[in-house]
């Protein structure tokens, strides 16, 4: 039986939290995310990245795909300020547009995006079905939903082993953030149940590492 879910703050909106997140080494995780996304969507088209943080994944994606365009959305103003700096350095302000957006109630029209991607936003949301319902709404018929997040471990011992394995060389603050994120994450069974509520098969959500699940599915044509 998995650990009880313990929520963490929905928005990382202090300068210190945003800076601590940005300074962590996400390079391997981000590269794997882009690898896996392009494997199922070689031509991702116009994308929405929910919970973009400092826009590291959109930058990685645009460096590797010459034509895609991204709206990179986050509720944290501090994260978006750092993202703006990152985009200017990468010279990608013409392909990545930042948006201050609440993912639970987005201003975008139905079916606006060819691809919706998100990495590690779900565990921040107290009621994830609100976010997932909106994600499906703004994705076009036939478009791709590609959502990845941490998976809550079965025990405290397993959680601590993941922290030791993947955050050993990070600061104590970063290790605490990772520990809290694991506590706040959904289990595979929980995210599969939510996907089923929205009309998607259980097998569209799978474990894709020892600490991540991924929901990869095409929205059915109307």
Q: What is the pLDDT of residue 9?
A: 76
Residues 3 and 155: their CA atoms lie apart, in Å, by: 6
Answer yes or no: is 3 within a domain.
Answer: no
Q: What was the pLDDT predicted at 139?
A: 98
Number of domains making up the chain:
1
Q: What is the pLDDT of residue 17?
A: 74
In this structure, is residue 5 part of a structural domain?
A: no
**Cα 75 from chain centre:** 13
Give the structural domain span for 21.
15-218
pLDDT tens digits along 52-64: 999 999 999 999 9
Q: What is the CA radius of gyration of the chain?
A: 16
CATH number at residue 113: 3.40.50.150
Q: Has residue 41 been placed in a domain?
A: yes
């Amino acid at each position: 039986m998995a650990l009880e879910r313990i929520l963490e703050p929905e928005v990382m909106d202090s300068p210190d939290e945003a800076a601590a997140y940005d300074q962590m080494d996400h390079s391997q995780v981000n590269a794997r995310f882009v690898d896996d996304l392009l494997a199922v969507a070689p031509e991702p088209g116009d994308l929405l990245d929910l919970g973009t943080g400092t826009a590291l994944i959109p930058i990685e994606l645009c460096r590797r795909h010459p034509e895609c365009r991204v709206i990179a959305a986050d509720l944290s103003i501090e994260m978006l300020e750092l993202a703006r700096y990152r985009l200017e350095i990468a010279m990608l302000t013409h392909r990545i547009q930042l948006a201050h957006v609440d993912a639970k109630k987005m201003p975008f029209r139905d079916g606006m995006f060819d691809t919706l991607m998100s990495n590690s936003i779900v565990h921040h949301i107290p009621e994830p079905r609100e976010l997932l319902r909106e994600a499906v709404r703004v994705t076009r018929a036939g478009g791709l939903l590609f959502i990845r997040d941490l998976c809550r471990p079965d025990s405290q011992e397993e959680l601590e082993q993941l922290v030791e394995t993947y955050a050993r060389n990070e600061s104590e603050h970063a290790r605490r953030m990772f520990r809290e994120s694991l506590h706040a994450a959904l289990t595979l069974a929980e995210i599969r149940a939510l996907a089923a509520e929205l009309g998607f098969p259980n097998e569209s959500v799978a474990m894709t590492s020892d600490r991540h699940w991924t929901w990869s599915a095409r929205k059915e044509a109307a």
